[in-house]
């Protein structure tokens, strides 16, 4: 059985068509990576705020 393969962000950002679109729009790979890191951090903070801890 073959293990499913998930394309990495780096692979996607290195695709020629993606690079052409980003160049046309004035977006760099670093911009995308930074945006996704910020979104991840916001999501983590939001999830931590929703966690409830049992009182012993």
Domain positions in the chain: 9-51
Which H/E stretch holds residue 31?
A: helix 29-50
Closest Cα partner for 30 from 47, 9, 45, 15?
A: 9
- The pTM (predicted TM-score) of the whole model is 0.66
At residue 4, the pLDDT reads 86
pLDDT digits (tens, 9 = 90+) for 15-50: 999 999 999 999 999 999 999 999 999 998 888 877
Q: Per-residue pLDDT for 3 more than 80?
A: no
């Amino acid at each position: 059985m073959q293990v499913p393969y998930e394309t990495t962000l780096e692979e996607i950002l290195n695709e020629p068509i993606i690079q052409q679109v980003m160049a046309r729009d004035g977006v760099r790979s670093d911009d995308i990576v930074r945006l996704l890191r910020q979104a991840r951090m916001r999501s983590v903070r939001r999830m931590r705020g929703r966690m409830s801890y049992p009182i012993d």
